[in-house]
Chains A and B, each alone.
Chain A
């Protein structure tokens, strides 16, 4: 298959994925789009929202449309790292001998739903760090590779809810996107009620298998980005770094820490996926702008002043997008 056919296939698959998910998920277009972009870019997604908005349903639906292995971990305060990663257990062999055997944890799957991730303690949360970044697990002194593709789709309740532990910054940074799930509109709610309270249950088909998905992920990385667009992404990231020459005014006022380079990587990758989904062969400023909030919102650490004033990272990103010009002198020039 040549590149053109690959691109056509990409769009077809994307459209099919959207269509299949739409059979179950009502509304939440931006959330579905964001989740799919992250999946196609090979990134992890953190879905945040109050209980009952369909976060888990979305992930479960996604696991159904993708012909991939799926595990769900329900995070609770007493959950231990070994419960996630697996542990060595004494097992009796056929010959009657007893030996240690590694029992894989639920992390060993293509698609892992980390439900209510912030209900676990930071120690347990940190168990996922290596898996998410290196796509490998070190247990019992042995590094075990996770099978590609590997995604963590985590859901969490808003931080200030009872019985939640805020995710550490390092953990947050591993998420490609943080998507905030909001309440449905009236029409959407009506449709949700209709679908869930009546007898018929949607029949969901598998759309993508593992190989195709990996192929699409490779295609995404080939999408060219013009220098000035790349430069825009760089300037956006630099604008979030407080107390620097490149910082936006609002950054200096309300941020303690800005985005990591990983944020820039995510901006470009997400932009590439978005470009392909829109039938383009190049990344545009609009692509970068469209994915900026989901990419950067969990990478920015607010200072006390921002928290005191109730300023959110979304507001800061919106201001930075206004402040940073699209066409400007190259940062490196």
Chain B
């Protein structure tokens, strides 16, 4: 290897190493720059409400800066000449290497060239690339680590946010969540009740779009409420148009009445009634009587328990007293047509001084009575439903039972098709159809079709009559679809109201009850009653489940009410009984008071209740008319003060 080659080789090795060293240095420099960017951004984020994605972006920028620094550092290749100059400077070689390289390649004296190269090679031999370019952590790395440590520390510092900003963020999140819920609700509605009419479809799509807008756009509370109000008004207008149809009104009323919508047909209901009667036997008492009986039995049970827990067990006097009460109760049950075998056994056990057995039998009897009461109640409800069920086509149409009416029409069509239709049957059918013309006229063209059918039947035109009946059935079907659309719209409106309430009150969707649900007399229980599952997870209100929800009459001795309650006279402590009837006290009289947390209303009334109520109603009306009450609360406020009038 010539001297020149030796010099070049040494310099190339050093150049490669220097390139790597520069890449490493660039990495640290980039890390420092990136760290500073991240640190500063994080600092700003901790103080000012910039979006969190900026911090993420700064973090990414920091990483990118490190990579870019590394690339920039290692990108530039160092030529041998540059390296020679660098080594000359670093190793104090007095420009030997650079001059030798330059002179070796240029014109000049051969003698001087040889002298220069030999001298430079002698120095190059002593060079060690590792010692020349050591891979040590540069100064900048310490600063980079300090900055990164500071940034990490800053990460644990809680960010400062003004109350206004926090509220604004919570509002936006609430609006977005509400938007999602609204979209989801509409989606479910579309699946559950696919709209038949284009307007309904469009209305539902509008709600869905609104939900998406709320969930995606960053709207202020007022903007969101404005948009919801716009859509609500539009849907209300459309619903008003739909509600003008008397047939729809009737069907809706029928649907709202217990057992209205999705009610089983008469035959099935009759079958269910018979089955329940069979299970129940032949008691002639009402569920209320049975409830009273049950309460009496409970009292006896408690008295027996108390007597058994006394020192020395149950006394003879106690036994006699209990036995007497039980005998009276048994007699009362027999009068109601009920058999109480466990009661008799309990009386026998009491007589035989078998207290445990007595209590056990008493408990068994209580449970039997409970079951009997439930069955009686269920039977009563079914009978009420049966009573409301129209017996013929006219009644079905009158009661707003289009499904039952459709079934009847179907039967009539079948009868018309059958060959063995007697003239009496035909006559009966004609009179039934003719009777149904009047109520049918409330269902659009149904009355007209029924009239045509009646005429066709009278003239013996069975196919024509069948055709008219089928058209009437179709007309009913159409109306039912319209009603379905109206219900879907109503559901959407509920959703919108709920969204409005959620956004205006700042509460989450789940916390907002459906407006009006569960509070009005005859309404359905809303969420928050009992331990209801999340209705958003598919447990929405469904009419036919109402009876399962109704827990009136169910006694829970283990959960005795405490305080003022109207659940029964016997359950109230004497001390808790109100001395005055609410709303009946006169001026100057003592005002009953209860102690509330933070509020204590005491003193004497100065005005009559009626006057106070009228004044409050006037004030409420004024507040409502001046729109001082938020839109979402207007309905509730109006209802409350309307109830006061009653």
A residues touching B (Cβ–Cβ < 8 Å)? 2-4, 7, 222-229, 275, 278, 280-287, 326-327
Contacts and interface: CB of A to CB of B under 8 A. Distances in A.
B95 A229 contact: yes
Interface string B161-177: 00000000000000000
A224 B99 contact: yes
Contacts of B88: 284
Given A3-B111, A280-B94, 20 more contacts: A3-B115, A4-B115, A7-B115, A222-B112, A224-B103, A224-B109, A224-B112, A226-B99, A227-B102, A228-B98, A281-B112, A281-B116, A282-B95, A282-B96, A282-B116, A283-B99, A284-B94, A284-B96, A285-B95, A287-B94
Contacts of A281: 112, 115-116, 119
B89 interface: yes
Contact of A3 (B85, B96, B103, B109): B109
Interface in B89-136: 89, 94-96, 98-100, 102-103, 108-109, 111-112, 115-116, 119
8 contacts: A226-B98, A226-B102, A228-B98, A278-B94, A282-B95, A282-B96, A287-B94, A327-B89
A257 to B, nearest CB: 30
A229 B116 CA distance: 15
Contacts of B98: 226, 228
A224 B89 contact: no
A80 to B, nearest CB: 48
Given A227-B102, A326-B89, A327-B89, A284 B109 contact: no
A227 B629 CA distance: 90
* Residue among A4, A275, A282, A327 facing the most chain B CB atoms (10 A cut-off): A282
A226 B103 contact: yes
A4 B119 CA distance: 12
B334 to A, nearest CB: 122
A282 B99 contact: yes
Interface in B57-105: 85, 88-89, 94-96, 98-100, 102-103
Nearest to A285: B95
Nearest to B95: A284
Contact of A229 (B99, B108, B115, B119): B99
A63 to B, nearest CB: 32
A284 B94 CA distance: 5
Contacts of A283: 95, 99
Interface size class of B (residues with CB under 8 A): 10 to 19
Nearest to B110: A3
A283 B112 CA distance: 13
Contact of A4 (B85, B96, B111): B111
Nearest to B108: A224
A317 to B, nearest CB: 21
Given A280-B119, A282-B94, A282-B99, A2 B85 contact: no
B94 A286 contact: yes
B83 to A, nearest CB: 12
A222 B119 contact: no
B95 A226 contact: yes
A229 B94 CA distance: 10
A111 B492 CA distance: 117
Contacts of A226: 95, 98-99, 102-103
A284 B99 CA distance: 9
Nearest to A288: B95
A271 to B, nearest CB: 10
Contacts of B85: 228, 327
Contacts, number: 58
Contacts of A280: 94, 96, 119
Nearest to A2: B111
A224 B116 contact: yes
A287 B95 CA distance: 10
Contacts of B112: 3, 222-224, 281
A22 to B, nearest CB: 25
A57 B384 CA distance: 145
Contacts of A227: 102
Contacts of B102: 226-227
A309 to B, nearest CB: 34
Contacts of A2: 111
B107 to A, nearest CB: 11
A327 B112 CA distance: 24
B604 to A, nearest CB: 96
Contacts of B95: 226, 228-229, 282-285
B519 to A, nearest CB: 86
Q: List the 8 shortest-distance A-B pairs measured between CB atoms, nearest first.
A: A284-B94, A282-B99, A226-B99, A284-B95, A3-B111, A281-B115, A226-B102, A281-B116
B171 to A, nearest CB: 60
Contacts of B94: 275, 278, 280, 282, 284-287
Among A7, A223, A227, A283, chain B packs the most CB atoms within 10 A around the CB of A227
Most chain A beta-carbon neighbours within 10 Å: one of B98, B99, B102, B119: B99
A229 B109 CA distance: 19
Contacts of A228: 85, 95, 98
A281 B103 CA distance: 11
Nearest to A229: B95
Contacts of A7: 115
Contacts of A287: 94
A275 B99 CA distance: 13
A329 to B, nearest CB: 12
A228 B96 CA distance: 12
A108 to B, nearest CB: 35
Nearest to A226: B99
A224 B98 CA distance: 12
A152 to B, nearest CB: 31
B469 to A, nearest CB: 104
Nearest to B82: A327
A2 B115 CA distance: 12
B89 A282 contact: no
Nearest to B98: A226
A327 B102 CA distance: 15
Nearest to B116: A281
A214 B112 CA distance: 19
A275 to B, nearest CB: 8
Contacts of B96: 280, 282, 284
Contacts of B116: 224, 281-282
Contacts of A4: 111, 115
Nearest to A326: B89
Contacts of B103: 224, 226, 282
A234 to B, nearest CB: 15
Contacts of B115: 3-4, 7, 281
Contacts of A278: 94
Contacts of A286: 94
B109 A222 contact: yes
A12 B155 CA distance: 72
A228 B111 CA distance: 22
A50 B116 CA distance: 43
Contacts of A225: 99
Contacts of A326: 89
A230 to B, nearest CB: 10
B109 to A, nearest CB: 7
Contacts of A3: 109, 111-112, 115
Nearest to B115: A281
A282 B100 contact: yes
A280 B96 CA distance: 8
B161 to A, nearest CB: 51
B86 to A, nearest CB: 8
B84 to A, nearest CB: 9
Contacts of A223: 112
Nearest to B119: A281
A282 to B, nearest CB: 4
A234 B108 CA distance: 21
Nearest to A223: B112
Nearest to B118: A281
A275 B100 CA distance: 14
Nearest to B117: A281
Contacts of B109: 3, 222, 224
